[in-house]
Every structure is written in C-alpha cells, then in structure tokens.
Structure 1
Amino acid sequence: MATTSPVMSLYQRTTRLPQGRRVFSLLFSLKAPYFASVRPRFVELRPDYAELVVRKRRGVQNHIGTVHVIAICNGLEAAMGALAEVSVPPHKRWIPKGMEVSYTAKATSDITCVAETDRAQWTGDDPDVPVRVRGVRDDGTVVVEGVIRLWVTEKPAR
C-alpha cells in the first residue's frame, strides 16, 4: 500500500510505547465506542490481518458462563474494521454489508478474534470483499468462524 492509513500510523506510533497495544486498543474503541463493550486488546495489526483478544469476564458472559457469541461477533467486527482501515487502498472506501458466522464450540476462555484477507481482494474490480473471521479459544479450538462481507468502492471525487 502506497500510503499509510491513519489507523496504521496510530498503531505504529502507539505500539512503540510501553503498554502501546493497550493504548491503541483504547483509542480504537474511542473512535468506535460500541467496540469498547468487549474491551478489545489488539495483538497484531497489518494490512490483510488483524488479531485481538476479548477477555472472558462477567460483562461478556452469557447465562451458562461462556463468552456470549454476540460479544465474540463484536470482537470479530472490531478486528475486521481495523483490518479494513489498514488494507483499503487510499482511493477506495468500505462499508460492512453482512456477517455470516457459525458457532462451532463453547467459548470457555478468552477469545482471540482474527480477521484476514488477501491483498488481491482490495485491488480487483469486484466491490464485494469477503473478510474471513474466526474466534479461537486459548486451547486452539475455533468457537466462531465465518465471513464479514464488505462493499468496497471508489471514493467520490471532491
């Protein structure tokens, strides 16, 4: 990517600091306040890849004591949003248009939320960009997997 996005610049600047990933996670959640409900902790962010953790805590648990799947989906959408911001070419814009997920196992631990794309998806002519997402327990078991579909178009001329 020719130009570094504002989100990537912020990530690069903050992760140089002590507790930098925590600082970035907080600032990211301030920009999109709904994400703060799951308190995402970014682990890694680069074009075509984002990884964060949603800790298992009372505020995100369901009636059986596991991490609620909607909290996991919130974490997956946060990962997707960060990935999209650092991956989309500067002359394009994106908006989510749908999420398809399968619940594959109980979320009995902290959940690592991963979003991934391939570089060619952003540079092609197809405006439909599927972002692969998954939520993974501490033991490596995938608890949620699916796709968040983005609509990626040219920015309007100013």
Structure 2
Amino acid sequence: MPSTYAMYRKLSALPKGRAVFGQLFSRAAPYFASAHLRIVDMRPHHGEVVVPLRRSTKNHIGTVHAIAACNGLEAAMGLLAEATCPPDHRWLPKGMDVKYLAKSDSDVVCTADSDATDWAGGPEVPITVRATRADGTVTVEGTIHLWVTPKK
C-alpha cells in the first residue's frame, strides 16, 4: 500500500489532484468530511488545510465553529505526521492544547508545523498548530501532542 505522502505527491501533480486527495483523505477519517476541508500542502514538518466558512462549519454567531477549526488543525497535523513519521514508526494524537483568540469570520487556514528537533525527542512529539482567517489574524493556536513509537 502506498504511503499517504506518496499518494499526495502523485495526485497533487495532476489537475484537480489535491481535490481528489482531499476526498480520499476525508474518507479515511470520515469526521473530516463535515468540515469540507481543502488540502493546501503536505510535506515533512508541514501540513496545511482550509476550513471554509459555510453552513456546516458555522456556529450560532455565524463564524467557523471552534471545533471545526480544531478539526482542521488536526487534519493539518495528520498530513504533517504522515509525511514526517519514519516508515517503521506509527503516530497517535495524545492530546491537544489550544487557545481561541479571535472570531473566525472567514475561511480559516489551518497549519501544523514541526522541525527535526521536535521529532528527535520522541516518543512525545509536539506539533505547533495555528488557524488564521483571511485578514491574517490568528484565531486559534496551540499544540497537538503526538505519541510516536516503533511499529511492532
């Protein structure tokens, strides 16, 4: 079975390939489907998705719901982890610490970032996450903690 990252690289080179990859990605983790994520980037130490401002992601005040933003952050982290985790290891989210800083009154760009030193200190790996609205304001930021261990 090809790796998720290999599949992304292959599909993203094709017209509408990122959209196809996004549909496959949402099938693998069905709870992402309700957020209607758009995959922007996937590479080692970086993942990026957009959560659109639409009815299924809105809260009672008409902004992107905090949990929809967190789903986007988790999806971005998953892309990063799939592209970064050594093939003989597996990763599991262990926890998420986030702060809600501003209203998300536009689509939000959810990013996840790490560096080699984060992964060298395993098995606990901190991933920095951030959701940003169209005007550049950070609306959610925090850390997703991964547990990275050798496959048995």
TM-score normalised by L of structure 1? 0.92
Instruction: Name 2:123's counterpart in structure 1.
Output: 127
- Residue 17 of structure 1, CA deviation: 1.5
Say if 2:119 is the partner of 1:141.
no
Structure 2 CA distance for aligned equivalents of residues 79 and 125 of structure 1 = 21
Structure 2 CA distance for aligned equivalents of residues 73 and 25 of structure 1 = 17
Structure 2 CA distance for aligned equivalents of residues 58 and 126 of structure 1 = 39
Change (3 A) 1:125 1:109: closer
Q: 1:38 is aligned with what amino acid? A: A
Q: 1:127 is aligned with what amino acid? A: P
1:8 pairs, out of 5, 10, 27, with 5
Consecutive unaligned residues of structure 2, counting only runs of 5 or more, are none
Structure 1 CA distance for aligned equivalents of residues 135 and 20 of structure 2 = 27
Structure 1 CA distance for aligned equivalents of residues 30 and 76 of structure 2 = 14
- Residue 126 of structure 1, CA deviation: 2.7
Structure 2 CA distance for aligned equivalents of residues 126 and 41 of structure 1 = 30
Structure 1 CA distance for aligned equivalents of residues 93 and 66 of structure 2 = 19
1:71-104 CA-partner distances (Å, limit 9, x unpaired): 0000100111111111001121110010000000
Instruction: Name 1:73's counterpart in structure 2.
Output: 70
1:37 pairs, out of 28, 34, 48, with 34
- Residue 125 of structure 1, CA deviation: 4.5
Extract structure 1 runs of 4+ deviating beyond 2 A: none
Instruction: Name 1:51's counterpart in structure 2.
Output: 48
**Aligned length, in residue pairs:** 151
Give RMSD over aligned pairs. Answer: 1.0
Say if 2:100 is the partner of 1:87.
no
Q: 1:85 is aligned with what amino acid? A: E
